[in-house]
Structure 1
Amino acid sequence: MKKITDERLVLRNLQNTRIVYIVQTFGILCILGYELFINGIEAMLDNPVWLVFMISGIVAAYLSMSISVEHENKIRNPKKSFIFSTLIILSISVLVSYLITITPNSELSQGTLIGVILFICFLIPNVYIYRLRMKQLIDLDDLEE
């Protein structure tokens, strides 16, 4: 198979891939919706298609993050943005942890566990964006020299 070098054909191929991804995602959502209505949420979450849907959604989000960092008009201070967003994530995690702790029939350990998991889940994309911005800053510094 010969590699495509024409930019128009490469762009069309990327657009076709995007359309296929949209159709595939729609199909997965239809299958999961059917499973939800017939057997309930437990069966839907136990379905392996749910795992495929979640993994593909996470991968798509990370890929779009790398594009959005490169598309930013204004160069931001990566360290300042990282510290600010980490403080916001920490505040939200502590708040959720506290709210879970004060609900009836829940314990301090449950609230703490959910707060820590929430913090880690939001910290990972935050670190990823920080690294992308630092790489972009280093690349711009190299171009100026």
Structure 2
Amino acid sequence: MKKITDERLILQNLQHIRITYIVQTIGILCILGYEFFQDGLEPMRENPLWLVFMLTTVVYAYLSMSVSVVHEKGETNPRKSFLISLIVLSLIVVVAAILTAMTPGFGWGNGAFIGGVLYVCGFIPCYYVYHLRKKQRAELDEDE
């Protein structure tokens, strides 16, 4: 198979892939929605399509982050924005942990567990964006 070198054809191919992804996502959501209304939340989440949907959503979010960082205007201090993100994340985690612990049927162990999971799930994207910003700043410094 020959590699496409014409930029118009590359753009058209990317648009076709985007349309295919949209149709696929709508199809998955329709199947999951039907299962949700028929059987409820738990059977819907046990469906392998749920895992595919979540995986593609996470991958899309990470790919969008890399594009967003490259598209940022102005000088962003990667370390400062990383520290601000960690502070905001920590506040959210503490509030979620306290609210979970105060919920009837849950204790401080559950709150700490939920807080830990939220912290890890929030720390990974924060660190990824920090790494991308640091890499972009190094490239800009190298070009000058």
TM-score of the pair, normalised by structure 1: 0.98
Please report the RMSD computed on the Cα atoms of aligned residues, expressed in angstroms.
0.6
Structure 2: tracts of 5 or more residues without a match: none
> Match of 1:136?
136
Q: What is the identity percentage for the equivalent residue pairs of Structure 1 and Structure 2?
A: 54
> Match of 2:110?
110
Instruction: Quote the Cα distance in structure 1 between the aligned partners of 2:65 and 2:15.
Output: 19
Counterparts in 2 of 1:2-81, with a 5 A limit? 2-81=2-81
**Cα displacement string for residues 96-121 of structure 1 (whole angstroms, at most 9, x for unaligned residues):** 10111112221110000000100110
Q: What letter is aligned with 1:109?
A: G
1:38, distance to aligned residue in structure 2 (A): 1.0
* Structure 1 segments (4+ residues) deviating >2 Å: none
Aligned residues: 144
1:75, distance to aligned residue in structure 2 (A): 2.1
Instruction: Quote the Cα distance in structure 2 between the aligned partners of 1:42 and 1:102.
Output: 25
> Match of 2:86?
86
Instruction: Quote the Cα distance in structure 2 between the aligned partners of 1:57 and 1:126.
Output: 17
Instruction: Quote the Cα distance in structure 1 between the aligned partners of 2:74 and 2:61.
Output: 21
Q: What letter is aligned with 1:75?
A: E
Instruction: Quote the Cα distance in structure 2 between the aligned partners of 1:125 and 1:22.
Output: 24
TM-score of the pair, normalised by structure 2: 0.98
> Match of 1:121?
121
Instruction: Quote the Cα distance in structure 2 between the aligned partners of 1:107 and 1:56.
Output: 34
Instruction: Quote the Cα distance in structure 2 between the aligned partners of 1:67 and 1:117.
Output: 26
